[in-house]
Structure 1
Amino acid sequence: MAGDKTVCVTGGSGFIGAWLVRLLLDRGYSVHATVQNLHDENETKHLEDLEEHKSNRLRLFQIDLLDYDSILKAITGVSGVFHLASPCTVDKILDPEKEVLGPAIKGTNNVLVAAKELGVKRVVITSSISAIVPSRHWPADVVKNEDCWTDVEYCKQKELWYPASKTLAEKAAWEFAKEKGLEVVVVNPGTVMGPVLPPTLNASMLMLLRLFQGCTETYEDFFMGSVHVKDVALAHILVYENPAATGRHLCVEAISHYGDFAAKVAELYPEHQFPSIPRDTQPGLLRSKDGAKKLMDLGMQFISMEQIIKDSVESLKSKGFLS
């Protein structure tokens, strides 16, 4: 998209957000990045350290997803919005409405209302494979793709609040786009790993760290393939800049099982003792090398699982999480 190169990235301090800010600055964009607390160095320092900051193309805004006015300020003066901010955890949730459902759904709606009000051209929403799986009713002989949606009733029964929140937020976004005529496009990343820019670890990198610590969890309802964080950031820019990109975009290096991932980690680090994890950890999930065909058709070339693991482990070591 030519013309105004100022965009807003909500959740700019997060794992994917910080990479997206970095790549946007590299491409000459000016960026309004949002954080939850401007006085918290854990949220701001790694963004301010992006060397491009010297050219004053990065501005930080403090927002609360449930406070419309704070969102309005951050989006004023931009031509595109990348909406990444959403609560993410694989740990137990005590108050689903307050902890994840409310902020995810109302937050997304507030961002879209503000974008529409301010005449934003295109909004890219970061959804998740958690809005695609768990999907128990999908035909067993068909590879899962962008037409597949998470079964929210199943999530409620099993108290899987994160997939429920991502699914309901994405569905609300499509509803809004259709009703109000706003240009929305969605990226659905798998388990995102790679070099960590923020000082804290995201849920996916914790998954890898816990594997090294002997965790035998198989993430039955939370895994569909790994993807490098840099590729996820690139995918966002790709669908933003390409007018032909529409709908949802599954973003994984390959559709695979957590067992495949764990086996590759064990193969790469034979000096470590890893728990034995079955190969088929995602019941009914058919493997596929080109699960992200829509993104590949736009020119995306994905970093391999092996390289994702190596970059992730190196990052965990350099940050002192692994010795």
Structure 2
Amino acid sequence: MASEDRKVMCVTGASGFIGSWIVYFLLRRGYAVRATVKDIQDEKETKHLESMEGADESRLRLFQIDLLDYDSIVAAVAGASGVIHVASPCTIDFSRDPERELLNPAREGTVNVLKAAKENGIRRVVITSSISAMTPRVSGLPEAVGDENCWSDEDYCRSKELWYPLSKTIAEKAAWKFAKEEGLDIVVVNPGIVLGPMIPPSVNASMLVTLFVIQGKIPDVPVDHFMGFVHVKDVALAHILLYENPSAAGRYLCVEAATHYNDFAAKMAELYPEYKMPRVSDDCLPKVSNMKEASKKLIDLGMKFASLDHIVQDCVQSLRTKGCLS
């Protein structure tokens, strides 16, 4: 149960894959939630939130925001004791104008949320970043992700048009710069490939990419993005753990283990031989050894991660429930 001084939480991107689970667990823990959505008139964004246990006890309020509209963010943050910032553009499509459609909203939207938090005396902001802010051609470690000290190479991302990793990298760097200059307490979660049961009615980007792979298609994203998998419930719980733990600081890699795309394909073949998962050449995979406790910082705080078997099984079951797989 949340203590009285931290019972009101603002969650941006609340209607999404990760955000919905964060709202679900916050409500179960006794929090009141100020949840932001892009279109409050769209039942695909709101209905699944409003049907959660606790939502009908006046503990859930929905706010429509635009990440580039500061005033809309202030309205959602006002009255909260903490913020979990999940909202960020996410697409598997190549962007025609990545600066306008992806990079600027990610960077400026994050700064706007932090400004609103600072203005309203928020004690801590937990930010959802990504392992992709650590992986593509890491500076000083050319073909591997090491730990929370690693950053993706921005020039390499631009040269290869890796717009999503670039958006997460520049948004997170902007957040750390703001926090340092303004004295705001932030903590960052860097999840791997997030899979598991979907609360929203629509299939999100990571589950859609996984669906393509299960259907036998090589993913149209670099396979070094598949550097560890994590259950969506664990990601949600990690955000809450980091908000509630006063000793939490810095970045937190959030994966079940440091594994490669081919490890996922092998596990899928073992559990579901009816699906013909494509493999890729080992030469295409990042040169890093598998590590069971890659997320040691979170584990040291008491985090326990679902196994890869559990992640794969819940992923397939959810895709079947949504009618995407037979």
- Tell me, yes or no, whether TM beats 0.5: yes
Alignment of 1:228-267 (within 5 A): 228-267=231-270
Alignment of 1:1-323 (within 5 A): 2=3, 3-139=5-141, 144-217=146-219, 219-278=222-281, 281-323=284-326
Contact 2:196 2:312 in 1 (8 A): yes
1:132-152 alpha-carbon deviations (Å, 9 max, x no partner): 011344447986100000000
Contact 1:187 1:251 in 2 (8 A): yes
Rounded Cα–Cα distance in structure 1 between residues aligned with 2:143 and 2:47: 48
SS at match of 2:66: coil
Q: Which amino acid aligns with 1:109?
A: V
Rounded Cα–Cα distance in structure 2 between residues aligned with 1:183 and 1:75: 16
Rounded Cα–Cα distance in structure 1 between residues aligned with 2:141 and 2:114: 33
Q: Which amino acid aligns with 1:70?
A: S
Rounded Cα–Cα distance in structure 2 between residues aligned with 1:281 and 1:227: 22
Q: Which range moved further: 268-277 or 206-215?
A: 268-277
Q: Which range moved further: 60-69 or 137-146?
A: 137-146
Rounded Cα–Cα distance in structure 1 between residues aligned with 2:129 and 2:279: 31
Identity %: 60
1:145-195 alpha-carbon deviations (Å, 9 max, x no partner): 000000000000001111111000100100111110000000000000000
1:123 and 1:28, CA in 2 relative to 1: closer, same or farther beyond 3 A? Answer: same
Rounded Cα–Cα distance in structure 2 between residues aligned with 1:220 and 1:127: 19
TM-score by length of 2: 0.95
SS at match of 2:62: strand
Q: Which runs of 5 or more residues in structure 1 are unaligned?
A: none
Q: Which range moved further: 273-282 or 238-247?
A: 273-282
Q: Which runs of 5 or more residues in structure 2 are unaligned?
A: none
Contact 2:127 2:189 in 1 (8 A): yes
SS at match of 2:165: helix
Q: Which amino acid aligns with 2:267?
A: K
1:119 and 1:33, CA in 2 relative to 1: closer, same or farther beyond 3 A? Answer: same
How many Å apart are 1:219 and its aligned residue?
3.0
Contact 2:138 2:144 in 1 (8 A): no
1:260-312 alpha-carbon deviations (Å, 9 max, x no partner): 11111111111233334345642223211111000000000100011001001
Rounded Cα–Cα distance in structure 2 between residues aligned with 1:45 and 1:71: 21
SS at match of 1:65: coil
TM-score by length of 1: 0.96
1:53 and 1:28, CA in 2 relative to 1: closer, same or farther beyond 3 A? Answer: same
State the number of aligned residues: 323
Contact 2:139 2:150 in 1 (8 A): no
Contact 2:144 2:288 in 1 (8 A): no
Q: CA RMSD in A?
A: 1.6
How many Å apart are 1:321 and its aligned residue?
0.9
SS at match of 1:113: helix
1:45-70 alpha-carbon deviations (Å, 9 max, x no partner): 11111122121100000000000000
Q: Which amino acid aligns with 1:210?
A: F
Rounded Cα–Cα distance in structure 2 between residues aligned with 1:280 and 1:197: 37
1:136 and 1:248, CA in 2 relative to 1: closer, same or farther beyond 3 A? Answer: closer
SS at match of 2:189: strand
Rounded Cα–Cα distance in structure 2 between residues aligned with 1:110 and 1:308: 34
Contact 1:219 1:258 in 2 (8 A): no
SS at match of 2:126: strand
SS at match of 1:31: strand
1:264 and 1:163, CA in 2 relative to 1: closer, same or farther beyond 3 A? Answer: same
SS at match of 2:202: coil
How many Å apart are 1:222 and its aligned residue?
1.7
1:103 and 1:141, CA in 2 relative to 1: closer, same or farther beyond 3 A? Answer: closer
1:101-128 alpha-carbon deviations (Å, 9 max, x no partner): 1100000010000100010000000000
